[in-house]
Amino acid sequence: MSLLKLGRARLGMALPRHRGWLLTTKDPRLDDLFECYALASTALDNLQRELPRRKALIEEYEEICRNLQADVVELLPLLEARWLQRNQ
């Protein structure tokens, strides 16, 4: 699976309220965020499986994932407004 698809799917699971827009909206800014989220969330998954746990690094990647989620949530209304303008 491509990073784009993986990030889109993972963000859809992390942000269920926005899943519809995430799965259908096409925009290069979102694509970059999807790819970054795929990399960060995959790294976090791998870190969480490691023993011994590297707590500081896990917390850092959790914060990265939260920040990427916030960036996506902030961008979606702008994309929705642009979509509405085009389709009126």
Q: Which long-range contacts (CB under 8 A, 24 or more apart) does 11-17 make?
A: 11/37, 11/68, 11/69, 11/72, 14/41, 14/65, 14/69, 15/69, 15/72, 15/73
Choice between 82 and 77, residue whose per-residue pLDDT is larger: 77
Q: What is the pTM of this model?
A: 0.90
Residue 75: CB atoms within 10 Å: 16
pLDDT at residue 84 above 70?
A: no
User: What proportion of the chain, given as a percentage, has pLDDT over 70?
Assistant: 98
pLDDT attached to residue 80: 79
Choice between 88 and 36, residue whose per-residue pLDDT is larger: 36
pLDDT attached to residue 65: 99
Residue 68: CB atoms within 10 Å: 22
DSSP 17: G
pLDDT in tens, 37-69: 999 999 999 999 999 999 999 999 999 999 999
